Amino acid sequence: MRNYTNDIDELNQLSAEEWQIECLKKNPDYCSWGNYEDYMTDKNSQWGSAIENELWRLDELNELVNFYFEVNRKSKPCEHCDQSGSNPQTKQLKDSWYSFDKEEWIYIDGKRRYNNKAWQYHLTEVEIKELVKHGRLSDLMSVHCSYNKEDEKWYGWVDGKKQEIEEPEYPTPEAVNSWATKGMGHDSLNQWIAVEARARHLGVYGHCEHCNGKGYIYTEPKAKLGLQMWFIHPRKGSSRGVYLKNVEHNELDKVIEYLKEARQRNYDRFSLL
């Protein structure tokens, strides 16, 4: 976990210690990068590769320009729910959203178009209302709108401005199901919304009792604090990610001073401007 404000429940599940949580609060706003992510996938030992190492010496060849702390804990996939995080009844609805029954394919103009057994093509008013509340099905709405659960009000874009509106008229199941068989149809977000809506309506919605909805089970007794850093090499015109797997509590002061030194070096570099 990299962003403290993202999911407090996840922090509780990680059993992160207070000093580790405080480190997350020091992170930059954007932390969606790191070793073996996006372009940082090269595993060789040359500049441009992602490596794991101790704190590097800061000099004219190594400049630390970005960082973030990360709380992590080793885990394994939950075999009980096939990593879905759902109880058996909810998982069954997830799985049957699609269908691969060859006998149920519907052909349009001689071309295979959709599988009639998949219930994504047979939505009811229950799922449609929830989809509209989440701002979905805009192709079928006269105004793009969504429902705010906090103030229990509807908001829509009218003449380019977001404003409070009356509860909209929902598209009919016939209109939605016909739309779904053409073009792109539903995406994975629509699936998630519709599955939960139908499961709650049936009274079966719930998480896997073994992983509590995470889809994985922790295999380490406690959380660890990692440190992801991004270095540049001005002379080589290159950069690389350096990751510390486990920052112990008694090492934290040293690490913080190291990051402060890097901050000062970056500031000094532009101080004459």
Residue 234 lies in a domain: yes
Q: Given this model, what pLDDT does residue 8 score?
A: 73
Q: Given this model, what pLDDT does residue 242 score?
A: 92
- Which neighbouring-strand residues pair with 239? 232
Residue 83 lies in a domain: no
Torsion of CA 44, 48, 52, 57, to 10 degrees: 120
Q: Given this model, what pLDDT does residue 10 score?
A: 77
Q: What is the DSSP string of 50-89?
A: -EE-SPPPPBTTBEEEEEEEEEE--EEE-TTTTT--B-HH
Within this chain, do residues 111 and 46 fall inside the same structural domain, yes or no?
no
Query: Of 265, 131, 119, which Cα lies nearest the Cα of 193?
Result: 131
Residue 252 lies in a domain: yes
Tokens of 42: 């090269």
Within this chain, do residues 115 and 182 fall inside the same structural domain, yes or no?
yes
Q: Given this model, what pLDDT does residue 53 score?
A: 80
Within this chain, do residues 121 and 145 fall inside the same structural domain, yes or no?
yes
Q: Given this model, what pLDDT does residue 40 score?
A: 74
Residue 126 lies in a domain: yes
Residue 129 lies in a domain: yes
Residue 212 lies in a domain: no
Within this chain, do residues 183 and 139 fall inside the same structural domain, yes or no?
yes
Within this chain, do residues 55 and 123 fall inside the same structural domain, yes or no?
no
Q: Give this prediction's pTM.
A: 0.67
Residue 244 lies in a domain: yes
How many domains does the structure of the chain reveal? 2
Contact by Cβ (8 Å): 3, 27:
yes
Q: Given this model, what pLDDT does residue 92 score?
A: 96
Residues of the domain holding 258 = 8-74+220-269
Within this chain, do residues 149 and 104 fall inside the same structural domain, yes or no?
yes
Within this chain, do residues 187 and 247 fall inside the same structural domain, yes or no?
no
Q: What is the DSSP string of 162-195?
A: EEEEPPPPPPPHHHHHHHHTSTT---HHHHHHHH
Q: What is the pLDDT along the chain (273 residues), one digit of tens a residue?
A: 998 876 677 777 888 999 999 999 999 999 989 988 877 777 665 666 778 887 888 887 889 999 999 999 999 999 999 999 999 999 999 999 998 877 788 887 777 778 889 999 999 999 999 999 999 999 999 999 999 999 999 999 988 899 999 999 999 999 999 999 988 899 999 999 999 999 999 999 999 999 989 899 999 999 999 999 999 988 888 888 999 999 999 999 999 999 999 999 999 999 999
Q: Given this model, what pLDDT does residue 48 score?
A: 67
Within this chain, do residues 100 and 41 fall inside the same structural domain, yes or no?
no
Within this chain, do residues 246 and 161 fall inside the same structural domain, yes or no?
no
Question: How far apart (Å, rounded) are the C-alpha atoms in residues 38 and 36?
Answer: 7
Residue 184 lies in a domain: yes
Within this chain, do residues 189 and 93 fall inside the same structural domain, yes or no?
yes
Q: Domain end: 159, 176, 202, which one?
A: 202
Q: What is the distance in angstroms between the CA of the first residue and the CA of the last residue of the chain?
A: 37
Q: Given this model, what pLDDT does residue 149 score?
A: 93
Tokens 């977001």 belong to which residue? 162
